[in-house]
Structures are given as structure tokens and as C-alpha cells.
Chain A
């Protein structure tokens, strides 16, 4: 289990406890993306494996480093759970199931596939809907939650993303990258909690830049060359 975390000292202890209770035999790796709070000091006390990035690279860099670590340790499947504790640990099995069954190379847990209690603020929901429609059209598959950070990766996705996971606000681009390189993506419904503590890294001011970047990435990515399997 891979947990990218930036300034999540308040949520991490509880999250680790929940993850461990849910999947006792799975390894937990926390990747600290140059946190400025006490996350870093906390890591050695949590009894988990951890990486700490010395400078802030964004969630993409944290995931790339985490996946390379997982590959080196011989893991062939990785579940990505956000450090804020939003993702329900009891539904990891659902997200992992299509990988175990060999039906998919990457699985995204969707908050919107089934009606649930989770609600994003209004303007963000509108942006997510538009993005969902765009990504769905681009990869020819219905995606309801292109910004979800709850993922499971199988062996092929691990090899690709350990070096090519996008950065910035990477999830929509990630969906396209996977589809573009011929990996099978699947979406499963999950029920989402509200954040345990801390604030979302998304502020209204950042959304403009993110939207621009994502739009550009979505336009350009189909024109890119594909990555040969297992290439670094």
C-alpha cells in the first residue's frame, strides 16, 4: 500500500492503524513529499516503511519513487491511498479485485459511480463532470471520477508508472497515459469519507492553473509516442 503524504501528520497515525487492521499482511509505504509539518519525524514511529523526498515534487514524484521502491522489493501490485484518510480502507479489496482476477492493469476507485454521501463543493463538482466527460470520450470508456486518488496498479502499470507517472495534478492525465499505452483501466464504485483532518491541497486559486495544465496534457498526450513495455 502506497500512501503519498504531504503535511498529513494529523491523519497519518489513524490511517496507518486502519490500513493495518484491514490488510495485516500487506506492506505499507508512506512517501513524504517534503512535508513542512511533523510528518517526517512521525514516520519512524509509525512502524511503516517510508521514503522522504528532500524537496517538494508533487504527488507524481512521490508515487514514482514509491512504485520504484515497490518494484525493488518485489511487489507486483500496489494500492495508492491518499494520506488524508479520505479513502475507505475497507474497500481496498474491491479496488484490488480486478487486478487479482487479471481483468485490469489499473483500477480507479470512483466516488460518483454510485450515489453516496460524498459531495465535493459545487464548482468543483461541475469541473469534475466536464473532465469526466472529456476523459471518457478520449479513452472510449465511461469514467465517472477522473480526479480520484484511490488506485490499484498491477504489474504492467507498475513498470510503466514507476518512471512515467505524470506530475502536477496527475490523475486525469494518468488515465489517458494508461489507455494510450494500451493498458486496461477499470473503474469500481467506492464510498468516500470526508477528510479526517487537514485541508485539501486544492484552493480556488490553484484550480485555474490545474485546469489549463490538465487540458493541455489531455490534448497533447494522444500525440505522444507510447512507452515500450518495461522501458525506463
Chain B
């Protein structure tokens, strides 16, 4: 695993930076653990690929790809695709829950108005008796 060319060094550095960034975001509470996992897996995969160039060469040969770094690109695109699909699912679920919340808030608002009116009537009756 000798570091032969600059691009490999850059790839390792970028992968490490990605992992560090994700961990830092989790530490600051900007990213919750459940969503950080997918990014950590991505970062780890990139790190492995950029460290052991052999994996790229071997898999490139096996896949019939002449230019080994293209395999890296392929993996990145694949992970990016899976990640955005995953987040679309998350967003859809959140949308459904937000809609439900908005509906329930409207119903609770109506209930509060109804109860306020009842309390108001009772208070009126109470003060009418006292005066």
C-alpha cells in the first residue's frame, strides 16, 4: 500500500475529512446518529478504496473497466444515489407526519375555542349570580 501518486493522498485526505466532518456534526448535534450512519459508511468505503489501490485495480479488471479510478467514481455515484433515495423516503415520511400535525393542531384549536366558550358562559353565569 505504498502511496504512489498525489491523487491517492488527496483521496485518503478527503475521505478522512468526510468522516471527521460527519463525526463533528454529530458531536455538535447538527446531525442525528441515525442519519450519520449512512455517511460514515460512505466515508469508510471511500477510505478503504483510496487506501488499497489494489482493490480498485482488481475490481476494474474483473469488471472490464480499463481505467481503475473510474471504479471509484462508480462507487461514489452509487452511494450518492442510495443516499438520496434514502433521504427521499425520510422526507416523504416527515411530510406525512407534518401534515398530520397541522391537521391535529387545527382540531385542537377548535377544541380550545369550544372549551373557552363553555368556560366563558360559566363565568358569566357565576358573575351574574354574584352581582
CB neighbours (8 Å) of A68 from chain B are: 103, 107
Contact with B along A46-70 (1 / 0, CB 8 A): 0001111111010001001100110
Task: Output the residue of B98, B99, B103, B104 with the most chain A CB within 10 A.
Answer: B103
> Is A86 interfacial (CB 8 A cutoff)?
no
> Is A167 interfacial (CB 8 A cutoff)?
yes
Q: How many residues on B have C-beta within 8 angstroms of the other chain's C-beta atoms? A: 10
- Closest A residue by C-beta to B111: A72
> Is B74 interfacial (CB 8 A cutoff)?
no
> Is B3 interfacial (CB 8 A cutoff)?
no
Prevailing SS type, chain B contact patch? helix
Known: A51-B110, A57-B99, A65-B102; 8 extra A-B contacts, CB below 8 A, are A52-B109, A54-B105, A54-B106, A57-B103, A61-B99, A61-B102, A65-B107, A167-B99
- Write 26 A-B pairs (CB below 8 A) sorted by A numbering: A31-B106, A49-B110, A50-B110, A51-B106, A51-B109, A51-B110, A52-B106, A52-B109, A53-B102, A53-B105, A53-B106, A54-B102, A54-B106, A55-B98, A55-B102, A57-B103, A61-B102, A61-B103, A64-B99, A64-B103, A65-B102, A65-B104, A65-B106, A68-B107, A69-B107, A167-B99
Chain A interface (Cβ within 8 Å of chain B)?
31, 49-55, 57, 61, 64-65, 68-69, 72, 167
